[in-house]
Amino acid sequence: MNGASTTAPVMRVDDLHMQFKRRRSMTERLSGQPARIVHALNGVSFTVARGETLGIVGESGCGKSTLARCLVRLNTPTVGTISYDGKDVLTLAGAARRDYHRRVQMVFQDPYGSLNPRMTVRQALTEAIRFHGLRAGNAVAERVCELLGLVRLPPSIVEPLIALSIAYVAVENLFTSELSPWRGALVFLFGLLHGLGFAGVLGELGVPRGQFAAALVSFNVGVELGQLSVISLAMLAVGWWRAGRSEVYRRWVVVPVSLAIAIVGLYWTVVRAMA
């Protein structure tokens, strides 16, 4: 515990007990044995003042998660009291309870047990903001976009990966003359990675949140059409010359161009990674 304070505790727990009844087996039921009691918490008491940090350490199964669940009222303790800012947490209801849950929250160990698999991350964030009345109207969607923007991949990660993916394809051209069966899937994955880079560019340009998805799709489609146009022009320019000269074409065109692209890609990988 650090940051000791002489002010009144913001959180107080007194003599907290939490008991669970274990399910009886068929033999225990037939013999009339009573249900066994598991004492998950047995007389837990502590206080936390403003500015303090309290760490509770113990082996697996000692009751740490049960204590946290009691503090956020996911479990109702068998005996004991919990107070927050002088108010009895176990009797809070309505707006007072919602206010408490905005201030005291639990980070679950298992995200699959705490998140609704039928809801997207955007839907889960939207529901919480609306439930607690933190925003209204269009401000809800704007706040959700703002929160999602905080966890996107930064350019310092995306840009080196984009450059490295380009260098990888170029290096592969140097050592293979035939397209591998998985090249299509690899190029598709690289396309998704490049899409992350385009998303970062659009965000920096200040594209309105409501137009972001349409702008991103249009931007990617435009880039792909531009690439196809360049490839088509290249094929028209050298296709006639390449016919019957595959070895010459590879030696004097494919290898030098791929080598140049690989060098440039690796150079920008290092530059953007060190930026």
Q: Are 127 and 75 in a shared domain?
A: no
Amino acid at site 29: R
Q: Where in the sequence is the domain holding 162, given as residue range(s)?
A: 155-274
- Domain CATH number, residue 96: 3.40.50.300
Shared domain check, 259 and 161: yes
Half-sphere exposure for 163 (CA within 13 Å, toward CB): 16
Same domain, residue pair 138 and 162: no
Beta bridge partners of 11: 48, 84
The pLDDT assigned to 121 comes to 77
Residues 190 and 145 in one domain: no
Within a domain: 3: no
Residue 189 is assigned to a structural domain of this protein:
yes
Give the pLDDT score at 1: 43
Domain stop point among 110, 141, 167: 110
Q: Are 173 and 187 in the same domain?
A: yes
pLDDT score of 4? 45
Count of domains observed in the chain: 3
What is the gyration radius of the CA atoms in the chain, in angstroms?
A: 30
Q: Give Cα separations from 138 to 50, 60, 130 (angstroms).
A: 35, 44, 11
Residue 2 lies in a domain: no
Residues 187 and 191: their CA atoms lie apart, in Å, by 6
Q: What is the pLDDT along the chain (275 residues), one digit of tens a residue?
A: 444 445 678 999 999 999 988 887 777 777 778 778 888 999 999 999 988 999 999 898 889 989 999 999 999 999 999 999 989 999 999 889 988 988 898 888 776 667 777 777 788 888 888 888 888 888 888 888 788 777 766 666 777 877 888 888 888 888 877 666 666 666 666 666 666 666 665 555 555 656 666 666 776 677 667 767 876 777 777 665 555 566 777 788 788 888 998 899 899 888 878 86
Q: Decide: 70 and 62 in contact? Cβ < 8 Å.
A: no
On whether residue 208 sits in a domain, the answer given is: yes
Q: Is 3 left (phi over 0), alpha (psi -120 to 50) or beta?
A: left
Q: What secondary structure does DSSP assign to 213-224, as a single string?
A: HHHHHHHHHHHH
Kindly state whether residues 129 and 35 are assigned to the same domain. Answer: no
The 10 Å Cβ neighbour count of residue 74 is 12
160 and 78 together in one domain: no
Are 88 and 130 found together in one domain? no
Q: Are residues 143 and 176 in the same domain?
A: no
CB of 143 within 8 A of CB of 255?
no
Residues 105 and 124 in one domain: no
pLDDT of residue 209: 58
Residue 127 lies in a domain: yes
In a domain, 4, yes or no: no
pLDDT for 15: 94
- b/e burial code for range 136-158 (CB count within 10 A of at least 16 → b): eeeebbeebeeeeeeeeeebeeb
Would you state the structure tokens that stand for residue 142, as one six-digit string? 């704007």
pLDDT at residue number 41: 92
Residue 248: inside a domain: yes
Residues 130 and 210 in one domain: no
240 and 259, same domain (yes or no): yes
- Are 6 and 45 within 8 A, CB to CB? no
3-state secondary structure of 32: coil
Task: Extract the runs of DSSP E, i.e. beta strands, from 77-206.
Answer: 79-84, 87-88
> Has residue 175 been placed in a domain?
yes
Residue 114 CA: distances (Å) to CA of 74, 129, 130, 145: 12, 17, 19, 22
Candidates 121, 119, 122, 272; CA nearest to 200 is: 272
Per-residue confidence (pLDDT) for residue 2, from 0 to 100: 47
